[in-house]
Structures are given as C-alpha cells and as structure tokens.
Amino acid sequence: MRTSKKSPELLMPVGTRDMLVAAVANGANAVYFGVPGWNARGRTVDFSLDDVREMIEYARLHNVKTYLAMNILIFEEELRELPGKLAKIIELRPDGFIIQDIGLSRLIRAIAPNQEIHASTQMTIASAEGANFVKPLGFNRVVLSRELSLRQIKDVAENTDQEIEVFIHGALCVSYSGQCLTSENFGGRSGNRGQCAQSCRLPYQMFVDGEELPLANTPYLFSPHDLCALPVLKEMEGYVDSLKVEGRLKSPEYVAAVARAYRAEIDNKKIDDFTHSALETLFSRGLTTGWLEGLDYERLVEGSFSNHHGERLGIVKKIHGSNVWISRDEKNSEMPLLGDGILFEPACFGGRVYAATMDKGWLKLDFGYDFDSRRVRVGMVAFRNDSPAIERELKKRYTERDCDRNIPIDITLTADSNKPLQITMTDLQGHSVTVTGEIPDAAKTPREDACARAETTLAALSGTAYIARQVSAKFPTTVFVVDKFVRALKQEAVKKLDELRKAPEQSRVATVEDFPISARAGVLFLANERARRPLKIATEKPELSVLVRNPEQIEALKGLPVKTVYMDFDWGVSYEEPLEHVHELGFEAGIATLRVHKPGESHYLRKIAKLAPEKVLVRNLAALGVLAETDAVKNGQMFLAGDYSLNIANSASANYLLDAGLKTFHPSLDLNAKELFDLLNVTDTRKVEIALHQYLPAFHSDYCAFANFGAQAKRFPECGKYCTKHKVEILDHKGKRHFLQSDAECRNTLYLGEPRSTLRLLPDFAKLGVNKFRLEMLDDTPEMVRRKTKIYAEALFKGMPLTEAARLIGAEEKYGVSEGQLFNETRWQDRKKG
C-alpha cells in the first residue's frame, strides 16, 4: 500500500504577480502559472521571459516551488518554433512543467533529459493504468481527472508509484478535461488550446422524445457548482502528494483566502469564520465536494444559475421600505459589512448594505433610500456576492510587511583582536553563507553589553525575506565592534543568502553535465520524428469502416463495400451476437473502448481481449497500455486503432503512440484543415484514418443530465436507466439541437446535431496517401445507415461527384451537415491587459 507521512503540497494558481505574492504569503508550497503564449488559460496576462525569471526566483527565495503550465495541444507547425524558446525557459530552472501533449513532453525531455514533467488533467488520466502508461515518457506526476471519488483516488495511488495531484478547490468542468470539444465546435475556441468559452455555463433546453421537458427555472443543465474539498481533505492524507487549486483567472484576494483556508486545514488549525465567508463571497457558484464523495447529480448541478453568487445568507422573510429581513442559514456567523453587495434570486437583483443588525433572530439589512424593494419577494434567497471590506482585509494579508512569509534563519557573529569580523547565516533547509569583514579595533572602554547590542542589530531584518530564529554574537569586550560595520556586513550576508536560495537546488542541477539543456537536441529530435515518414507512399485502394451504435444497424451494411464494422454500444448491450453477425456478413469486427478509463473498469478491456475482434478502437491511454500487452495484440491477431480522443496533433505524439502499439490513428478533432495537412505531410499516412462523416462530440461527462432532470435521480440505478427508454435532444442558445447519448458506463456525450463531413477534402487526402476512412452513425435507423453508407461508398469507390454526394448526405440528415471548424483558420486570443 502506497502511503506517505509527508504533508501534502498546497499548489496555488498564479495569473498575475500579485497572485504569486498572495499565494506565498498565505501558505502555498508551490504555484503554477502559464508558459508565455502556450498555456490553457488564454485570458490570463502573458508573462515575459523576464517576468517568469523573477517569479521563479521570488518563489524559490521563499521555498516555494514553481510549475509552468504548458497544458495545451501543440500543432505540427508550432513544434518547429519551440526548441529555442523551450531551452530559454528551461534555463530558468522551473521545478516542473505541466503538460498535455505527448509530443511536447518528448521534446522537453530531448532538450533537457532531467527536466521534471507532470501529466496535466488535460491528458484525461483517471486510473493507475493511465498513470503507469505515461511513466516511460518521463512524467513524474499525474494530475488526476476531477471525476474521481476519494476511494478511486486512493485506488490509483496504491497501484502506481507516480506522484498524485488532485484538484481540491475551484471551478468544475462538466466535461472530462481534454475531452471537451464544445467551445471548439460551437465557436472555434478550443479548450485544448486554452480558449474555453465556458459553453457549459450557458442555458439549454431539453427535449425528450420530441417534447420539451419543463425545467422549472433550471435552464443551466450543464453548469456544476464549484469544488471545495475542505470537508474531506483529511481523507486524502497519505496518498495524495499535491493539493491543487483552480483559479488563474481569479483575484489575488481569492488566492489569499483559499490558500489561508487550506493551509490551516493541512496544519490542523481552525479556519476562522472570516476566511470561511471569504471563500464563498469572493467567488462561488455554490461549494460542493464535487465527485469526491461519489456521484450525486442533484448536488453537482442544481441548474438555476451558472455565475458567481457568493455566500448564501438565507431566505427573505419580510420586506418593509428599504429594509429586508432574512432567516439566516445556520452555518453563517459572519455579519454582512457596510458596502457589501447582496444578491436576491431568482430576481437577479440586489444592492449594497448600509447597515446590518440582528432583529428578533432575523438578519435585518438596510439598503438605503434608492433601493427598489418591490423587486424582492418573501421566499427569495439572499447571497453576499461582493465585499469591499473583505477584499481590503485580504489585501493586507499579502501586502503588509507583518504578513510576509518570513524565513527563519540562525545568525552568528564572531570577532577577536586578531580575527576579522565574521557573520554566518543558516536557514532551516541547510543553505548557509559566511561573510568576512575587517579585524576590529581594540575597545578603548570595554562594554559588557557589546554582544547583546550586536545581537539586536543582527536580529533587525525588516525589509528582508528573513526572521531571526537564533542569534549569537561572541567576541571579547576588549574589541570594538562598530554597529555600522555589523549592519553593512549583515546586508552583504542577506544578499548572498538571497542569491543562494534563488539558485536551483544544487543536488538536482549542480552542473551543466548533470542538467544538460540543448535546443539543438530538440531540433534534431523533431527532424528524426519527421524523417520517419516514407519518402514515397504508394497509392492504395481505399478502405471504409463504419461505426455503429446499436446491433440493429449492422444488418443494414450487408453487401456494401465496408471492410470493418466498429461497435460502440450503450450500457447493458452484449457484444457476442453482434460480433458473430458482423463476421457472418463478411466484415472485420471492431469494438470501441470507453473514452475514459477509471478504477475498476479493466473488466471491459479483458472482455474485449476475450472476444478478440480483429480491431479495437482505442480511446484512452490506459486502454492502449493494457491491450498492447495482451497476447492477441502481440501475436498480431488483434489490431489497435487510435481514436481522436487520444488528441494526436503532431508527428511526435503520433510516432510515440504508434510505437506503443497502435497500427493506425485518427488525428485530433482540434485540427483545422491546414493543421491537419501539416500533420499528414510529415506522417506515414498509411497509418492514418479519417472520419468522412461524424457526429462531433461536445461534452463527455460523468454527470448525467438524463438522470438529474429527466428522472430526478442522484445516480444509477436510481434513474431506472432513463437513457435507454427515451431519446433526448438539447437545444442550445443559438437555436440548434444536439443529441445526448450515454455509453456503457452511463457517461453522457453531447453530439452536435449537424454531423461533420470531410468529403471536400477527399482528393487532398488521396494525394497524400490516406486510404482509410470511417463513417460514424448515431441513432440512425437501419435504413438511414444503409443510404448514407451507399452515398459515401459511391463517392469513394465509384467516382460520384463530391458535390452530388454532399447534397445527398445533407438531405439524409435531420439537422443538415456541416464542415465544422475545418476551414476556420482564425486564432482567438483575448488576454487580460497586464
């Protein structure tokens, strides 16, 4: 069993320099911030290289680690720009990089073989099998998916020797990180590129079997409450190495409050009422433990709002003039303060407090003469969602000198009539410096308090990062130690200790040989990866595969020029008979894995291995690692095809996963046409499969909107398998409908109503040697499956004009056909002004 007696690291977000100072002052052990231009928060201030250097040194001075987030997909053209830029950043010696892209992780390790790298939650690692798969790449730590319970987190920790990092506070995504294409599909702003548009926070409507489902003022079907792990934090002791807080777009005051609260909990200290109130008042959509205590759809998504509401105060009981009386919630003990902002829901209306008092057990709030109390009703809920007074107090906790996180040091001073004045400073981490001055003069009049006076001078460390723990001055009364010389020598010692602490850990990067950094090595690595593409790729006959989502669709393919039928069935649907049916029709059979692999789900992989289809559509890294070790794959009896969910966006990623056991791969859906062809031009295209027709996925979630709003159930099986009995569509804010479907583990995927067709690119694919194509069905009737497959087959094999094929396909689809973001070459960018 994996256990650790070491206190877990508290890891705080940094989006500005002030946030760094706030994190350090309030107890962070580590911070993370974005690599300039290359991180998953496109709206944060983009730091310069000098900014990054100064921030790393500031953190290191205060014994705080720095991790640089580069947690996005890297496109092929961008890889060429990176070796020189990466080398400059690595030379600053951050403690680690947080990485999503496999190719990028390989490039970093090529440039600096000893550089620590962490697997971002964007890699969708949710099991020990996934954590162990990335270890050979050099990853030292995995940031687990937020969708794991405490029990599942422990299971992962006990079955890997990787360090485990877990999110404990902040916003929750409704979709698995790394698997959300909603922003990309709705507006060309990919979450895998740091440009999430927060589509989950928008209002939606649900239609069940064609009829609108009344939602009773709860239109925010996919907007989770925020995460707060304080109630269960102690249960993570011993198996979680790093406790991570989300929030690089938040304020320094938010960072101060959150760091202060979790520092107290980690150190077994009481969290004061002020801090508890601040946690919610500064930013909160309502705090829950998320998935940590297991699935509870009602607790996770309530649906009535999606924005910041703050601290819930209670229910409105009485209104008179400018006064409102509230029955307070039991947990609230902090009184609202002058100037606090109060929000009333569902009115979405509020005002600022002029006075707050208790009146016969109720909280009485006076809003002043200009408050329109007619908009408030008895029974409404009151929230405190803004507090200038709280913000002022929290700002003091990282700006005022007595709130500095001072470093304890021991100081000794020695001198003698024939020995120079010498000061030594030593911190608790073992850093030590010694500075030497002049030999002191003889004292004209011996002073018994001379040593004490020197100790007082030495202990005065105001304006430095240090606080004196033990101070010792030893010299005979016969020598004259001048205070001015002691102060000057002390300042020199402080400067040297600063320099020593700002330097990288000597044990890890003592010399260039121990920690080599070579941009040229990165350039050569990329050249070798691209050289793996054959100089000439012969044109081969096209192959067509079809993915079906229910057994009834299989018979529709009879007699059509299809090579492989992939099966991707819902919960409880057996594969044995459909597999036999596929073989009877003369097709190769393929089975799709789950898109996410969690603890306890390896039985799906064992089942697939036992059934031994000709092909497996691999959708997660854990499945690749497990299946690649099966006898069927090793003996060449089972063929592993990588799906788009592996997020392959460059040749360095593709080559690694091909070497790991894939025979083919589907490129990431984040690529537009130009970026896709950039990849194909440096890849062995005989190993590439492209979807010609595909219902693009948006959210992929452990949260079930079927159960929550359709069956009013907290989890399976309370829902009565609602998803298997009804067809559900979601209407978005633009008036477009999409399909909500579940998988074998009751995970929801929202598929765009308009499937994407890549027919227009077919001639370009052929020129580059791509010959493997796929059609993906959804809830199509068997008749529709047959008609659609025949149209694509005639375009692919019989020369049907592509414009005619596109017209016919468009007529088949309920909501039409699109080309998605294939021809969108704009790059959205909206960074905060620094």
pLDDT more than 70, % of the chain = 95
What is the Cα–Cα distance from 573 to 576, expressed in whole angstroms? Answer: 9
Name the residue among 679, 694, 673, 692 with its Cα closest to residue 823: 673
Taken as a whole, the chain contains a residue count of: 834
Tell me: the pLDDT tens digits for 693-728? 999 999 999 998 888 888 788 888 888 787 778 899
Residue 319: strand pairing partners:
324
Residue with tokens 């020695």: 414
- Report the amino acid identity of residue 602: S
For residue 188, what pLDDT band results from cuts at 50, 70 and 90? low
Half-sphere exposure in the Cβ direction for 349 (13 Å, CA): 11
Which stretch of 95-109, 260-274, 432-446 has the lowest confidence by average pLDDT? 432-446
What is the Cα–Cα distance from 207 to 205, expressed in whole angstroms? Answer: 7
Q: What is the pLDDT of residue 832?
A: 42
Residue with tokens 């012969």: 538
834, pLDDT greater than 50: no
Task: At 460, give phi and psi (nearest 5°).
Answer: -80, 95
The pair of three-digit structure tokens given for residue 230, joined into one six-digit string: 């304080």
| Count of Cβ atoms closer than 10 Å to residue 485 Cβ | 16
2, pLDDT greater than 60: no
What is the Cα–Cα distance from 383 to 341, expressed in whole angstroms? Answer: 8
Q: Which residues contact 244 (CB under 8 A, 6 or more apart)?
A: 11, 32, 143, 165, 166, 167, 168
Higher pLDDT, 333 or 606: 606
3, pLDDT greater than 80: no
Name the residue among 641, 640, 763, 645 with its Cα closest to residue 696: 645
Q: What is the pLDDT of residue 4?
A: 58
Angstrom CA distances, 522 to 38, 135, 433, 675, stand at 17, 20, 38, 21
Q: Which residues contact 716 (CB under 8 A, 6 or more apart)?
A: 295, 704, 707, 746
199, pLDDT greater than 80: yes
For residue 1, what pLDDT band results from cuts at 50, 70 and 90? very low
| Count of Cβ atoms closer than 10 Å to residue 393 Cβ | 16
833, pLDDT greater than 60: no
Tell me: the pLDDT tens digits for 468-507? 999 999 999 889 999 999 999 999 999 999 999 998 864 3
The pair of three-digit structure tokens given for residue 116, joined into one six-digit string: 């620590």
For residue 830, what pLDDT band results from cuts at 50, 70 and 90? very low
Residue 209 Ramachandran class (φ > 0 left, ψ -120 to 50 alpha, else beta): left
Question: Which of helix, strand or coil describes residue 306?
Answer: coil
Mean pLDDT score of the chain, rounded to an integer?
92
pLDDT more than 90, % of the chain = 78
334, pLDDT greater than 90: no
Kindly state the helix (H) or strand (E) to which residue 20 belongs, with its residue range.
helix 17-25
Q: Which residues contact 197 (CB under 8 A, 6 or more apart)?
A: 182, 183, 186, 187, 189
What is the Cα–Cα distance from 86 to 18, expressed in whole angstroms? Answer: 25
Name the residue among 388, 69, 390, 399 with its Cα closest to residue 246: 69
363, pLDDT greater than 50: yes
Across the range 534-553, mean pLDDT stands at 92
What is the Cα–Cα distance from 605 to 616, expressed in whole angstroms? Answer: 10
The pair of three-digit structure tokens given for residue 554, joined into one six-digit string: 């299989």
For residue 514, what pLDDT band results from cuts at 50, 70 and 90? low
What is the Cα–Cα distance from 766 to 81, expressed in whole angstroms? Answer: 29
Query: 443-462 as b/e, with b when 16 or more CB fall inside 10 Å?
Result: beeeeeebbeebbebbeebe
Cα angle 645, 651, 656; round to 5? 70
Q: What is the pLDDT of residue 507?
A: 38
Question: Which of helix, strand or coil describes residue 793?
Answer: helix
Tell me: the pLDDT tens digits for 5-26? 679 999 999 999 999 999 999 9
Q: What is the pLDDT of residue 261?
A: 97
What is the Cα–Cα distance from 664 to 678, expressed in whole angstroms? Answer: 18
Residue 208: strand pairing partners:
211, 728
Q: What is the pLDDT of residue 5?
A: 63
Instruction: Give all strands of the β-sheet with 728-731 in edge-to-edge order.
Output: 211-212, 205-208, 728-731, 737-742, 748-752, 697-701
For residue 467, what pLDDT band results from cuts at 50, 70 and 90? very high
Q: What is the pLDDT of residue 448?
A: 85
For residue 183, what pLDDT band results from cuts at 50, 70 and 90? confident
The pair of three-digit structure tokens given for residue 489, joined into one six-digit string: 């020598």
Per the CB < 8 A criterion, the answer to whether 124 and 620 are in contact is: yes
The pair of three-digit structure tokens given for residue 539, joined into one six-digit string: 């044109």
- How are beta strands 466-474 and 407-416 bridged, if at all? parallel
Q: Which residues contact 672 (CB under 8 A, 6 or more apart)?
A: 821, 822, 823, 824, 825
For residue 104, what pLDDT band results from cuts at 50, 70 and 90? very high
Q: What is the pLDDT of residue 718?
A: 81
Q: Which residues contact 588 (CB under 8 A, 6 or more apart)?
A: 563, 564, 565, 582, 613, 614, 615
Question: Which of helix, strand or coil describes residue 521?
Answer: helix
Rg (CA), the chain: 31
Question: Which of helix, strand or coil describes residue 173?
Answer: coil
For residue 510, what pLDDT band results from cuts at 50, 70 and 90? very low
What single string gives the DSSP state of each residue in 44-80? Answer: S----HHHHHHHHHHHHHTT-EEEEEE-S---HHHHT
What single string gives the DSSP state of each residue in 729-740? Answer: EEE-TTS-EEEE
End-to-end CA distance of the chain: 47
Task: At 36, give phi and psi (nearest 5°).
Answer: -50, 120
Q: What is the pLDDT of residue 609?
A: 95
Name the residue among 723, 727, 715, 657 with its Cα closest to residue 688: 657
- Report the amino acid identity of residue 802: L
Per the CB < 8 A criterion, the answer to whether 121 and 145 are in contact is: yes
Tell me: the pLDDT tens digits for 606-662? 999 999 999 999 999 999 999 999 999 999 999 999 999 999 999 999 999 999 999
For residue 45, what pLDDT band results from cuts at 50, 70 and 90? low
What is the Cα–Cα distance from 652 to 578, expressed in whole angstroms? Answer: 37
What is the Cα–Cα distance from 763 to 421, expressed in whole angstroms? Answer: 82
Residue 141: strand pairing partners:
118, 163
CA dihedral 231, 232, 237, 239 (to 10 degrees): -150
Residue with tokens 């947990």: 331
- How are beta strands 615-618 and 639-642 bridged, if at all? parallel
Tell me: the pLDDT tens digits for 729-768? 999 988 999 999 988 888 999 999 999 999 999 999 999 9
Across the range 435-454, mean pLDDT stands at 89
The pair of three-digit structure tokens given for residue 38, joined into one six-digit string: 């290359």
Q: What is the pLDDT of residue 404?
A: 66
Q: What is the pLDDT of residue 26?
A: 95
